[in-house]
């Protein structure tokens, strides 16, 4: 195995590692000399102390004396979840004034989609397909969080997620590597800015390295067994993009990969991350993931876990204390060298220097973070509007007019805590604007009855009132979905229908004959196959954050248009999962001409596979809604696709031109998408791969020409010899509104 890895390393280095210069950091060259000077003065204990990320409960009511003592001795390098500002100040004071070498601490926290002002969950942000929004949301998150002394966030989560059962899909950039690379870089830029030493910025942590989203069955923390080609072609690119953008830290994932836990995986942490990707920040473990190597069956005890993590090159340990308890002994036993430890300390100090902590260790007390500032709320609302995906709009029922009498029903209509979504430690429900609040503030043409108290509620006690108000209204706005706690870490679901008896309530409401607009707030795609026919329109709002109410009000009433596009394929049923648009063709690809549904099979049919292809008898071979899909309040037509040349060379760009016309009556924004297919490869290639996209705003009747350029670089993939190549041959190319539709052309490329 190791041999293959070495071979890989050499080939990848030779062939593809024209290493990018990383984002430049202020005073970087002088940092290295200062780091060495400091290192030469540090005791072994102090060095080990730097590798220690101590977690405390964010609800702690006092600062334990032994904790202060540990900092005083230089035994702690960083903290997570210290939210009491006096503790932050006191601990930092002790570190810089009383610890042996005055090395400052870093205070970290999961600031994932905002600090106080919450933006849509990351999957919702991904639905904006808008790097500027993502960058702005992270900049605001950094600004607010740094006002509370936090200079390190455990974000962005860059795990490709192909399985909506996985609770952490909510935190992911979705299923596509290209979209994830674009947004991944934007997150880093937003959190870190150009100068990490600015007191308004935070160090980012690209996580979870790596392939955490490939957990078998979408069950959190589960085993990952993955080919290295898949790892490199799908799961690695977003991390590369984040590192190229200067991500200060990387977090190792909980999962094992092909038998070796990520936290103890030397190949991944050293060969790939350091040597290939040239990462020069520090790697932090996930919460207890060092000690969890014992449960994995990879380490025999805490000491062995520490040894394996250290050998693998893990710089900092989160919460468990294998390093603190055993590194000294491991060094004395010569199992780990002082030089290995020195390298961890260098990586950690480098980030402390870049954060400017040696110059300005203390929280800037003038900087309040300006929580929920007007412009923060404005951006959060914009993000919620851009992230909302219109999935169905029968007879253009949406937008309604503000004069329409609506019945506001459903467990998420006024659920301020729930609409903030997973990882919303610091957002306060008192500051959350719900759809009901938005109506209350703006419009009197509504009646409200929850129908169900919460998403899992199974009591029908509220049905009657809900049905009554529905009967007296013109349109039913049903706000359903799942509570925040039903997605996120450790919250995978095997059945991803609307929980509780929401479907039953929708069925009852449908009997009134009033049109139903279903607004879903959830951390994942929710399977709605059972009830979609009972609805007239469906809006996916994800968990939209602090300003979700106003954003939805404006969309529903046509003040704004829904602008989101799906960053994941939307399944018909959980039994289809994992499902992703960029799958392989197989030897027996299914299409509409050969799909034989279950009810067409004769009784007592003769055993035969003939005529059957790679599909499910009951649900076929397509998702409910494809990747990239999203309707608007207008319609668009693609036309006149042309390419600059039918045959190009490897050093030439291909220019793809086409027109988009707004054929509807309203202005709107299309997200034009370009996909390619490498028809024949030395390894089989996906049926489609997203390579470019562009937001195009068009007035009614307006036509715009769109031009995309791609080059052989965009056609590259890692082959069976683990070499990155672009191969000669024919490529199909589509431009269109989603992964399932588009105008097709083709070109070929030669050396
Ligand atoms: C565990 C999660 O996996 C990770 O994403 C998070 O940053 C840490 N806990 C710290 O809270």
Q: Is residue 453 flagged as an active site residue?
A: no
CA dist., res. 52 & res. 40, Å (int): 19
Establish whether residue 286 lines the binding site of ligand 1, counting it when its CB lies within 6 angstroms of any ligand atom. yes
Residues of the chain above pLDDT 70, percent: 96
CA dist., res. 109 & res. 80, Å (int): 5
**pLDDT value, residue 87:** 93
Model confidence pLDDT, tens digit, residues 194-217: 999 999 999 999 999 999 999 999
**pLDDT value, residue 385:** 98
Confidence grade of residue 15 (pLDDT, cut at 50, 70, 90) = very low
Handedness of CA 211, 216, 217, 219 (dihedral sign): negative
Q: Print the domain residue range for 693.
A: 636-749
Asked whether residue 187 is assigned to any structural domain, the reply reads no
Confidence grade of residue 57 (pLDDT, cut at 50, 70, 90) = confident
| 354 backbone dihedrals φ, ψ, rounded to 5° | -60, -30
Question: Average of pLDDT values for 221-229?
Answer: 98
Question: Average of pLDDT values for 150-176?
Answer: 98
User: Which among 360, 458, 358, 454 is positioned nearest to 415, based on CA atoms?
Assistant: 454
Q: Does residue 640 carry a pLDDT above 70?
A: yes
Q: Provide the Cα torsion 57, 58, 63, 66; round to 10°.
A: 30
Q: Does residue 6 carry a pLDDT above 50?
A: no
**pLDDT value, residue 5:** 38
**pLDDT value, residue 25:** 55
Whole-number mean pLDDT of the chain?
95
Tallying the residues shown for the chain, one arrives at: 751
Model confidence pLDDT, tens digit, residues 706-733: 999 999 999 999 999 999 999 999 999 9
Q: Provide the 3-class DSSP secondary structure of residue 10.
A: helix
**pLDDT value, residue 27:** 53
Residue with CA at minimum distance from ligand 1 atom 1 = 287
**pLDDT value, residue 58:** 67
Establish whether residue 207 lines the binding site of ligand 1, counting it when its CB lies within 6 angstroms of any ligand atom. yes
CA dist., res. 683 & res. 724, Å (int): 12
**pLDDT value, residue 410:** 98
Establish whether residue 221 lines the binding site of ligand 1, counting it when its CB lies within 6 angstroms of any ligand atom. no
Asked whether residue 6 is assigned to any structural domain, the reply reads no
Instruction: List C-alpha distances in Å: 749 to 711, 725, 743.
Output: 10, 13, 20
Residues of the chain above pLDDT 90, percent: 92
Q: Does residue 607 carry a pLDDT above 90?
A: no
Q: In what order do the strands lie in the sheet with 475-481?
A: 389-393, 537-540, 516-521, 475-481, 406-409, 446-449
Establish whether residue 287 lines the binding site of ligand 1, counting it when its CB lies within 6 angstroms of any ligand atom. yes
Q: Count of domains in the chain? A: 1
> Which residue from 166, 286, 288, 488 has its CB within 8 A of the most atoms of ligand 1, so it is best to mutate?
286
The CATH number of residue 731's host domain is: 2.60.40.10
Model confidence pLDDT, tens digit, residues 379-394: 999 999 999 999 999 9
Q: Token pair for residue 152?
A: 């390190």
Asked whether residue 654 is assigned to any structural domain, the reply reads yes
Asked whether residue 12 is assigned to any structural domain, the reply reads no
Nearest ligand 1 atom to alpha carbon 207: 5
**pLDDT value, residue 667:** 97
Instruction: List C-alpha distances in Å: 461 to 457, 492, 505, 520.
Output: 10, 29, 11, 22
Residues 6+ apart with CB under 8 A from 619: 572, 573, 575, 576
Question: Average of pLDDT values for 457-470?
Answer: 98
**pTM, whole model, 2 decimals?**
0.96
Instruction: List C-alpha distances in Å: 536 to 66, 297, 447, 516, 673.
Output: 61, 52, 19, 5, 27
Handedness of CA 339, 344, 347, 352 (dihedral sign): negative
Q: Does residue 63 carry a pLDDT above 90?
A: no
Nearest ligand 1 atom to alpha carbon 157: 5
Tell how far the Cα of 287 is from the centroid of ligand 1, in angstroms. 6
Asked whether residue 651 is assigned to any structural domain, the reply reads yes
Model confidence pLDDT, tens digit, residues 293-337: 999 999 999 999 999 999 999 999 999 999 999 999 999 999 999
Confidence grade of residue 22 (pLDDT, cut at 50, 70, 90) = very low
Asked whether residue 679 is assigned to any structural domain, the reply reads yes
Asked whether residue 317 is assigned to any structural domain, the reply reads no
Asked whether residue 670 is assigned to any structural domain, the reply reads yes
Q: Token pair for residue 459?
A: 């009591």
Are residues 567 and 693 in contact, defined by beta-carbon separation less than 8 angstroms?
no
**pLDDT value, residue 611:** 74
- Residue 510's H or E segment, with its range, is helix 502-510
User: Pairing relation of β-strands 52-55 and 717-718?
Assistant: unpaired
Cβ atoms within 10 Å, residue 575:
13
Tell how far the Cα of 157 is from the centroid of ligand 1, in angstroms. 10
């Amino acid at each position: 195995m190791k041999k293959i890895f070495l071979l890989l390393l050499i080939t990848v280095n030779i062939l593809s590692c024209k290493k990018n210069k990383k984002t430049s950091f202020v005073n970087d060259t002088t940092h290295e000399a200062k780091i060495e000077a400091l290192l030469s003065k540090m005791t072994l204990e102090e060095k080990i102390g730097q590798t220690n990320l101590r977690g405390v409960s964010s609800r702690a009511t006092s600062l334990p004396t032994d904790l202060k003592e540990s900092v005083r001795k230089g035994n702690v390098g960083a903290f997570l979840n210290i939210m009491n500002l006096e503790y932050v100040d006191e601990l930092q004071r002790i570190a810089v004034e009383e610890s042996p070498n005055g090395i400052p601490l870093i205070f970290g926290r999961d600031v994932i989609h905002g600090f106080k002002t919450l933006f849509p969950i990351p999957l919702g942000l991904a639905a904006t397909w808008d790097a500027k929004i993502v960058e702005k949301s992270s900049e605001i998150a950094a600004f607010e969080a740094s006002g509370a002394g936090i200079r390190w966030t455990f974000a962005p989560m860059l795990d490709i997620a192909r399985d909506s059962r996985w609770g952490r899909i909510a935190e992911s950039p979705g299923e596509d590597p290209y979209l994830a690379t674009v947004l991944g870089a934007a997150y880093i830029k937003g959190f870190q800015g150009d100068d990490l030493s600015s007191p308004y910025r935070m160090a980012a942590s690209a996580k979870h390295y790596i392939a955490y989203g490939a957990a078998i069955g979408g069950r959190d923390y589960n085993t990952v067994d993955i080919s290295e080609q898949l790892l490199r072609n799908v799961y690695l690119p977003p991390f590369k993009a984040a590192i190229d953008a200067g991500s200060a830290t990387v977090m190792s994932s909980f999962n094992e990969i092909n038998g070796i836990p990520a936290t103890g995986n030397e190949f991944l942490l050293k060969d790939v991350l350091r040597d290939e990707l040239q990462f020069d920040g520090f790697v932090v473990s996930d919460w207890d993931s060092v000690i969890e190597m014992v449960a994995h069956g990879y380490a025999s005890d805490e000491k062995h876990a520490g040894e394996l993590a250290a050998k693998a090159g893990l710089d900092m340990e989160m919460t468990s204390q294998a390093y603190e308890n055993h590194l000294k002994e491991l060094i004395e036993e010569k199992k780990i060298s002082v030089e290995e430890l020195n390298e961890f300390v260098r990586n950690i100090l480098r980030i402390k220097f870049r954060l400017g902590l040696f110059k300005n260790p203390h929280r800037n007390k003038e900087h309040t973070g300006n929580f929920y500032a007007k412009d923060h709320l404005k951006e959060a609302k914009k993000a919620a509007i851009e992230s909302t995906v219109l999935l169905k709009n029968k007879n253009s029922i949406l937008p309604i007019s503000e004069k329409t009498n609506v019945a506001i029903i459903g467990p998420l209509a006024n659920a301020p805590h729930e609409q903030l979504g997973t990882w919303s430690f610091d957002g306060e429900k008192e500051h959350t604007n719900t759809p009901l609040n938005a109506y209350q503030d703006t419009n009197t043409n509504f009646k409200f009855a929850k129908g169900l108290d919460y998403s899992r509620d199974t009591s029908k006690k509220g049905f009657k009132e809900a049905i009554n108000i529905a009967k007296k209204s013109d349109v039913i706005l049903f706000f359903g979905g799942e509570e925040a706690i039903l997605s996120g870490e450790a919250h995978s679901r095997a059945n991803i229908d609307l929980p509780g008896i929401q479907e039953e309530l929708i069925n009852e409401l449908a009997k009134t004959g009033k049109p139903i607009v279903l607004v879903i707030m959830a951390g994942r795609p929710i399977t709605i196959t059972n009830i979609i026919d009972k609805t007239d329109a469906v809006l996916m709002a994800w968990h939209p954050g602090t300003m979700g109410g106003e954003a939805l009000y404006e969309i529903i009433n046509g003040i704004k248009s829904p602008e989101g596009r799906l960053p994941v394929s939307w399944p018909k049923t959980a039994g289809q999962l994992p499902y992703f648009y960029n799958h392989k063709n197989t030897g027996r690809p299914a299409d509409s001409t050969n799909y034989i549904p279950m009810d067409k099979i004769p009784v007592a049919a003769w055993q035969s596979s003939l005529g059957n292809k790679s599909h499910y008898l009951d649900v076929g071979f397509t998702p409910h809604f494809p990747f990239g899909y999203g309707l608007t309040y207008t319609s668009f037509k693609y036309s006149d696709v042309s390419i600059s040349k039918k045959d190009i060379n490897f050093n030439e760009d291909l220019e793809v031109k086409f027109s988009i016309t707004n054929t509807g009556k309203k202005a709107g924004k299309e997200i034009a998408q370009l996909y390619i297919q490498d028809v024949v490869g030395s390894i089989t290639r996906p049926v489609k791969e997203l390579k470019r996209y562009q937001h195009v705003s068009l007035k009614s009747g307006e036509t715009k020409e769109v031009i995309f350029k791609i080059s052989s670089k965009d056609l590259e993939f890692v082959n069976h010899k683990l070499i990155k190549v672009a191969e000669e041959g024919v490529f199909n190319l589509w431009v269109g509104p989603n992964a399932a539709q588009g105008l097709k052309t083709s070109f070929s490329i030669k050396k």
